[in-house]
């Protein structure tokens, strides 16, 4: 599973728009429309797609078809190489549903903000961490891959700055439990490039062999800059959302995720990830804008990309 254990030096794109992106939208997207977008994303050359979250359908109708989406794409078998399919789980019931419908990578996490944790899960940090560790062990025992995250790692809209030691403490519990695929999530969008470099430098020292992902929100316009800062510190997995959709419903001020096509465009201008079909991502972003009837947060789908020379060999690093 390359999203969990990326090849040495590879830069990977994990698309989370169908989950993090849509959870803020009031207009529920029909399953057939989601399938069309997912098909295009799978064919674009990105490395992972998060199909949804296993939450109560009455609380979040946008995610009511998550089980159906996984059955649709996993029941077809492995007739073609495709990106990894991930799903977010918050509790034991969600894990049970995910195991039943073929989730390949389970994403689960704990907030470093007590206020955000209670609004998001109804639990304290300590209780949430205890349950997540138990769920992670169960998922691994079932032969599934697990990525754990620290949410609100760079600050909280309710509490303001989050103590770095609290973030490091949560990370230590993950590493002590043998969980070596981790993500730092900037749920409130408070990260800056300097802060991103500092925090990723500190967590990577705890276990240099661990695999790290970054999940930035563009609430204050710094998501892409923060991705580059994280990359300088050895982060290789970038969680992004097509068209810049996104935002946590339980954040005080919600902002979209790092825009997938904008990040890919930036990387390709540096000669990286030329194997990804940027045109396919731009088509999805434009279709998302048409569906919701408004301009989206992304830039390149409106301006068009800067032309780059075709490489002799596609690069994936």
* Backbone dihedral angles phi then psi of residue 56, each to the nearest 5 degrees: -65, 125
What's the burial of 17, exposed, middle or buried (CB within 10 Å: 0-12/13-18/19+)? buried
Beta bridge partners of 150: 110, 184
The answer to whether residues 188 and 154 touch, using CB atoms and an 8 Å cutoff, is yes
Sign of CA dihedral 54, 88, 164, 239: negative
* Dist. CA 35–CA 40, nearest whole Å: 9
Beta bridge partners of 239: 14, 215
Residues 168-185: b if buried by 16+ CB within 10 A, e if exposed = bebbeebbebebbbbbbb
Catalytic residues: 248
- Write the Ramachandran bin of 45: left for phi over 0, alpha for psi from -120 to 50, otherwise beta: left
């Amino acid at each position: 599973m390359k999203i969990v254990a990326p090849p040495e030096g590879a830069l990977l794109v994990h698309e989370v728009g169908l989950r993090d992106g849509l959870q803020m939208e009031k207009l529920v997207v029909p399953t057939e429309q989601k399938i069309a977008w997912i098909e295009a994303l799978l064919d674009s050359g990105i490395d992972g797609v998060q199909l949804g979250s296993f939450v109560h359908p009455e609380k979040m109708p946008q995610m009511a078809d998550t089980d159906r989406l996984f059955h649709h794409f996993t029941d077809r078998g492995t007739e073609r190489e495709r990106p990894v399919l991930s799903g977010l789980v918050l509790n034991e019931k969600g894990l049970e549903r995910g195991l039943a419908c073929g989730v390949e990578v389970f994403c689960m996490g704990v907030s470093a903000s007590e206020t955000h944790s209670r609004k998001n899960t109804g639990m304290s940090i300590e209780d949430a961490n205890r349950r997540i560790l138990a769920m992670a062990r169960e998922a691994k025992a079932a032969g599934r891959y697990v990525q754990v995250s620290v949410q609100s790692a760079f600050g909280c809209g309710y509490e303001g700055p989050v103590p770095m030691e609290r973030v490091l403490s949560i990370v230590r519990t993950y590493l002590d439990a043998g969980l070596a695929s981790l993500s730092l999530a900037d749920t409130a969008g408070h990260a800056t490039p300097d802060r991103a470099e500092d925090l990723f430098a500190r967590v990577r020292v705890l276990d240099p062999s661990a695999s790290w992902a970054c999940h930035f929100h563009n609430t204050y316009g710094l998501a892409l800059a923060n991705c580059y800062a994280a990359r300088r510190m050895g982060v290789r997995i970038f969680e992004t959302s097509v068209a810049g959709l996104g935002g946590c419903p339980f954040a005080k001020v919600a902002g979209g995720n790092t825009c997938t096509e904008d990040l890919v465009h930036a990387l390709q201008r540096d000669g990286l990830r030329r194997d990804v079909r940027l045109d396919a991502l731009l088509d999805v972003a434009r279709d998302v804008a048409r569906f919701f009837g408004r301009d989206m947060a992304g830039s390149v789908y409106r301006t068009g990309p800067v032309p780059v020379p075709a490489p002799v060999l596609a690069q994936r690093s």
